[in-house]
């Protein structure tokens, strides 16, 4: 409870990497739980993001998350429009299309660099700016200034064949999150790394769930983005006496 005569501040959530899967599910759940929500994407006019704006009042922001100046402008706009974020989700995969499935002998160096820049360097920029703003937040009644959550992949834990560039990026992102957690958690900012060891099955117009490469979901064999969003909300609400740093999510049938 907030002290007598004061009001607990409204949570402000910023989701970076807007799309129809995890980001859209997070935006819907966070808004349903009373948060002011912003969502950023390199292409903010995607139909799913326009629909979130129309139906839930989610604010859309255009941002190349691998551009330091663009990230600073985006955070300034969010702070102006909604308030200083108390929850930031970095949800950018980062793989450029041409690097997928390439052997180390065939992988294009420029594509490998772009993968690292888009996935890991953008995580650094988003985490850096989120921390700068959150450190200025007054702690809430539980002593917490905010939460920063990084969506990651199973490549953060194991480098698969023909996936060297992505493995580098995911390992870098995990290392960044771990370093940030050790630095920021004692200052009241919860940092979490969430490797998802599965394809994410996005809900289609007919109500089924599917992944662009893995096909249609059968018997919950793919991760459900709505359930991932629930995990993120739970992480944000965890008491600081039991903050989780790393939670690996995988379907019950996933081999690991």
Cβ 178 vs Cβ 245: under 8 Å: yes
- Domain, as residue range, for 60: 12-242
In a domain, 252, yes or no: no
Cβ 127 vs Cβ 91: under 8 Å: no
Q: What is the CATH number of the domain that holds 134?
A: 3.40.50.720
Q: How far apart are CA 17 and CA 46, in angstroms?
A: 12
Closest residue by Cα to residue 42 from 75, 25, 19, 24: 19
pLDDT at res. 24: 94
In a domain, 254, yes or no: no
Mean pLDDT of the chain: 91
In a domain, 3, yes or no: no
pLDDT confidence bin for 72, thresholds 50/70/90:
very high
In a domain, 28, yes or no: yes
pLDDT at res. 19: 86
Range 185-209 average pLDDT: 87
pTM of the model as a whole: 0.92
176-186 confidence digits (pLDDT tens): 999 999 999 99
243 pLDDT above the threshold of 70: yes
Q: How far apart are CA 200 and CA 249, in angstroms?
A: 11
């Amino acid at each position: 409870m907030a002290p007598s005569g004061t009001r607990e501040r409204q949570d402000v959530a910023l989701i970076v990497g807007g799309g129809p899967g995890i980001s859209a599910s997070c935006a819907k759940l966070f808004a349903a739980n009373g948060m002011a929500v912003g969502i950023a994407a390199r292409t903010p006019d995607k139909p799913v993001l326009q629909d979130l704006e129309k139906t839930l009042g989610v604010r859309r922001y255009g941002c190349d998350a691998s551009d330091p100046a663009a990230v600073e402008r985006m955070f300034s706009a969010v702070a102006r429009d909604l308030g200083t974020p108390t929850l930031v989700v970095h949800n950018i995969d980062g793989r450029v299309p041409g690097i997928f499935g390439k052997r180390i002998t065939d992988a294009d160096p420029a594509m490998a660099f772009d993968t690292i820049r888009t996935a890991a360097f953008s995580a650094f920029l988003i985490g850096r700016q989120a921390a700068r703003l959150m450190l200025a937040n007054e702690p809430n009644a539980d002593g917490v200034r905010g939460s920063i959550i990084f969506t990651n992949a199973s490549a953060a834990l194991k480098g698969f064949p023909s996936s060297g560039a992505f493995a580098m990026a995911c390992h870098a992102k995990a290392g960044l999150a771990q370093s940030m957690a050790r630095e920021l958690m004692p200052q009241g900012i919860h940092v979490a790394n969430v490797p998802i060891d599965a394809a994410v099955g996005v809900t289609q117009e007919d109500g089924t769930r599917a992944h662009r490469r893995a096909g249609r979901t059968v018997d919950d064999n793919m991760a459900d983005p709505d359930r991932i969003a629930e995990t993120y909300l739970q992480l944000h609400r965890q008491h600081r006496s039991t903050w989780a740093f790393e939670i690996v999510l995988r379907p019950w049938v996933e081999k690991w």
